[in-house]
Structure 1
């Protein structure tokens, strides 16, 4: 909504209700767009493949219910109650400055994530064009070498810039006029294309073996590490700990049920992950690929599979179009976090803020684009704390800053803010269960995820 700044006398856009806020359905679609990112289409399939398939998927659902949804509701509740950015909302609800500084962690996290996330998003655009053009249709191609050759050059910088330009343009158009409209078009379109790809994948010869791998549980393949990986992904898949859902929550109408919205977003996240699994695993098994191909599953194993498929250039292009849509809808929510902060902090216009933040995030991401591990890039041999620049940004945000941000949200909602239940619309047993999870269960599990991720907690 717009408001008059008392210091400057200028009209500025602020979080809240009104023209700048989401409609009820628009908010849910935008939030699903934030959660349905490369985590669903890229990371979820390969970690599921590495951890036994169906049993891991069921474990992931359990973790999403126990950890993901309670924190998701907490973030949105803080945003709507505080009516500010990811930092000021915490201060507005307590009037204590230390919470404002704690909230700043999620804004820094989102900005850092955006810098290298745009690089991976750029890869999807490149592969989409290459696939539609038939450049990935040679069954004898060295797909691993092709990917590393591309990642080791300078073209990823161009594609990253394009991602930033699209993201900045959408955000500059505003919440209802940009972010909501963008997601209203892309998220339903994403589902239609995904369903088409699922039907094609399930009709491939030998596809049922892949479907069985994804749908028939074998709990003997699970171990302690699987549990922590599922916990971590349930946290990351909903864009928690980096201020996205808190910022989106500040644009939510007061008459919207946050409880119902939480369930809808969680269901949407699971639906897209489920269908993505029924696209990828049947395709992988049909062409003799390994479901545990790791991070190379999307950019190495699947292009090789599509090359063997009739009209593979078309279906491969559609698949990477899906990846690109998932990446862009998430990118919009991530960049909106520092944009909302800067607009409120420095009273800049939305267009100016979006331009500045997109440019700065792009420039920060250039070293990541040139330092992909295994690729012979200009900065691939530059190591900081034993990691490439790309890996350092990924590790520090995903495994340190995001868990810290999530822990802050649980402690704030569980202990510091006394009216969380009222804002969330929860009473009775549901409220007490939510508080129990936020006060005791979620913090403990987040700490375990953190200790495992940084190597303190190990399993033989």
Structure 2
């Protein structure tokens, strides 16, 4: 599980919007709109954004936050055999990144050319080796940002770049209103043509563009979701990301098309607009040079923020195997240089091509619009139909039906349309449909599976950490253990009483001390069998393997979490008994907790009933026992609304079960009190609706 977090909700939204608002909004959106009839395309695009993108954004964010891990580990949580699917998703985003960095390099090259001189033409730019050089620069910049981490790198970049992007976009849009082609551009963009809505190629292009533009189906939002705090409203965040992204794309169209119509250019030129025709217009228009600098500066900033997001998906997956962030980042940066080189060389004196078609064009035509729907299908199939996580379903709320029945049909239709050639992709000149499917999906999956088998050599294997607080020693707060692995960032022990975050309960905090040093434990996370105690900083020397350490858990904090967690069990069982509503998700905090229930529609009297019934259980002073029981027995004897076995991997057997005598039984690995009167009075403080049939209750404890 990842220990990194966004520093704030604003930081998360800026980073997520930065991931979405990239070349797909400015360069590719205008190109696709121009090739598909302007206003005729806009309606399918908006429908695709609402019907497909928003639900999938919520799904990815919810999976990431629920599992608190990278893409590959998230799939592995469902079952070891699904790890290869996770690697296939990572392969898809890295393939996109390999040519996306080439385009980012072009943008940087044009920006430099217009900044220091009178600009350049695409023919002049690609006549030399500048495309390759700027590709290397773009790749290095991306790697440099990601190597700094989530807060110091990705979030800080977004905090400074995104406001600049929108200021430049607004300034360019304001300038565009002064051009003679403004009126025609507005009419072109916003005049619908309902006669072409029956064209499946139009809808295929719209869905493909939505996925490319909004970073859906790439694992980006799943990765970013793993860094989100528990109180962020994911549905509102998804809508905010979509609205800003679509708004940026349309505004970019209102920047580009006025130039197109003012200078007699053809809107159907497609990708040539940004790098061939617009520079020609900039060279002759009033204030052309500052407009060109602003335009390519806008493109460069947007492209860099999206490239950073794509690289982070691979880096997060690699760090989960034991690599440090910096090592993982620069290793993948090197891989991107190798993978992107053929695309970079295809527009250079080398003219690298297959059957006369530049390699970059082939990669764009296949991966750019084909791989993303396939990745999205894999994410939906595994996390909606196989895992079917209650917490994720609760976050989806009213979108559950869309994600289950509508989105899969749309995604499959898009893939079938492309395989059948309805969208008339250029790559059919080179590859037949079956060959393309193998190239885009199977080859990356096989390649990354091979890489996955090699990755464990990056770290010395360590024995699994013994969770000594299980099954019933969760009142122990001081202990001794031996170090099995230690770095400046974390310490792994052969056994621990520290609780690692999971099941909605935060990790313990405290201190580790040894002969020659000590450290404050700020977080504790599981990592493929071992438990990492993340430290603020080590005072003294890093402990060597075999060193005996003394662990001291913050006893007051542990006691508060024990009380809160048992209180959550009490409230969950009360609601199940009184209202037949199951717990769909929960989050424990030291000072408060929340539980999502489904199906539920509480009123004020219901809330009062829940509080009274819960406190009767507390006052009854019932004993709380913690023991291991066979999984089959737990599944057979525990009420369906209290098992949540879909959150526990199949191989976990026996299960640790928490039982409140004659009241509740539930599989749980968290820390709990020994008797219910230790909880203290439960006070329900808030009730909110989280979507169709999902209600959230928040409570605090007295004492």
**Contact 2:45–2:210 under 8 Å retained in 1:** yes
Match of 2:253 in 1: 277
**Contact 1:16–1:253 under 8 Å retained in 2:** no
> Following superposition of structure 1 onto structure 2, how do residues 55-94 of structure 1 map, counting pairs within 5 Å?
55-92=40-77, 94=78
Which whole-Å deviations, capped at 9, do the CAs of 1:403-438 have from their partners, x for residues lacking one?
221001111232122324x34644xxx72x422222
Distance in 2 between the 1:324 and 1:98 partners?
Answer: 39
Where does structure 1 lack aligned partners over 5 or more consecutive residues?
1-13, 137-142
**Contact 1:247–1:337 under 8 Å retained in 2:** yes
1:447 is displaced (CA, Å) by: 1.5
Which whole-Å deviations, capped at 9, do the CAs of 1:58-92 have from their partners, x for residues lacking one?
22111110111111111111111121111101222
Distance in 1 between the 2:185 and 2:219 partners?
Answer: 36
> Following superposition of structure 1 onto structure 2, how do residues 45-124 of structure 1 map, counting pairs within 5 Å?
45-92=30-77, 94=78, 96-124=79-107
> 1:380 aligned to 342, 347, 352, which one?
352
Q: Find the residue that maps to 2:64 and give its secondary structure.
A: helix
> 1:447 aligned to 401, 412, 418, which one?
412
Where does structure 2 lack aligned partners over 5 or more consecutive residues?
425-703
Distance in 1 between the 2:184 and 2:344 partners?
Answer: 37
After alignment, is 184-193 or 106-115 more displaced?
A: 106-115
Instruction: Please report the RMSD computed on the Cα atoms of aligned residues, expressed in angstroms.
Output: 2.0
TM-score by length of 2: 0.58
1:313 is displaced (CA, Å) by: 0.8
1:320 aligns with 2:320: no
Which whole-Å deviations, capped at 9, do the CAs of 1:164-201 have from their partners, x for residues lacking one?
11111111111011100100111111001100000001
Q: Find the residue that maps to 2:214 and give its secondary structure.
A: coil
Match of 1:6 in 2: none
Distance in 2 between the 1:200 and 1:56 partners?
Answer: 25
1:24 is displaced (CA, Å) by: 0.9
Match of 1:4 in 2: none
1:387 is displaced (CA, Å) by: 4.8
**Contact 2:65–2:225 under 8 Å retained in 1:** yes
Which whole-Å deviations, capped at 9, do the CAs of 1:223-243 have from their partners, x for residues lacking one?
332122112212221112221
Distance in 2 between the 1:214 and 1:162 partners?
Answer: 35
Which whole-Å deviations, capped at 9, do the CAs of 1:19-56 have from their partners, x for residues lacking one?
x4352111111111111111101010011112221232
Match of 1:5 in 2: none
**Contact 1:306–1:316 under 8 Å retained in 2:** yes
Match of 2:270 in 1: 294
1:437 aligns with 2:407: no
Aligned length: 423
**Contact 2:319–2:325 under 8 Å retained in 1:** yes
1:304 aligns with 2:291: no
> 2:232 aligned to 256, 274, 286, which one?
256
Distance in 2 between the 1:322 and 1:236 partners?
Answer: 18
Match of 1:209 in 2: 184
**Contact 1:114–1:334 under 8 Å retained in 2:** yes
> Following superposition of structure 1 onto structure 2, how do residues 226-245 of structure 1 map, counting pairs within 5 Å?
226-245=202-221
TM-score by length of 1: 0.87
Distance in 1 between the 2:201 and 2:388 partners?
Answer: 36
**Contact 2:205–2:423 under 8 Å retained in 1:** no
1:371 aligns with 2:377: no
1:215 is displaced (CA, Å) by: 2.3
Match of 1:11 in 2: none
After alignment, is 215-224 or 152-161 more displaced?
A: 215-224
1:414 aligns with 2:379: no
**Contact 2:169–2:252 under 8 Å retained in 1:** yes
1:178 aligns with 2:153: yes
1:379 is displaced (CA, Å) by: 4.1
Match of 2:561 in 1: none
Larger Rg belongs to = 2
Q: Find the residue that maps to 1:292 and give its secondary structure.
A: helix
1:131 is displaced (CA, Å) by: 1.8
> 1:402 aligned to 364, 372, 380, which one?
372
**Contact 1:194–1:322 under 8 Å retained in 2:** yes
Which whole-Å deviations, capped at 9, do the CAs of 1:293-337 have from their partners, x for residues lacking one?
111011111112212211101101110111111110100000001
**Contact 1:151–1:369 under 8 Å retained in 2:** no
1:156 aligns with 2:131: yes
Which whole-Å deviations, capped at 9, do the CAs of 1:348-397 have from their partners, x for residues lacking one?
2212221121122112211111114xxx64143444xx854323332342
Of Structure 1 and Structure 2, the greater strand share is in: 2
Change over 3 Å in CA distance of 1:36–1:458 after alignment to 2 = closer
1:217 is displaced (CA, Å) by: 2.4
Q: Find the residue that maps to 1:378 and give its secondary structure.
A: coil
Distance in 1 between the 2:182 and 2:11 partners?
Answer: 36
Change over 3 Å in CA distance of 1:218–1:404 after alignment to 2 = closer
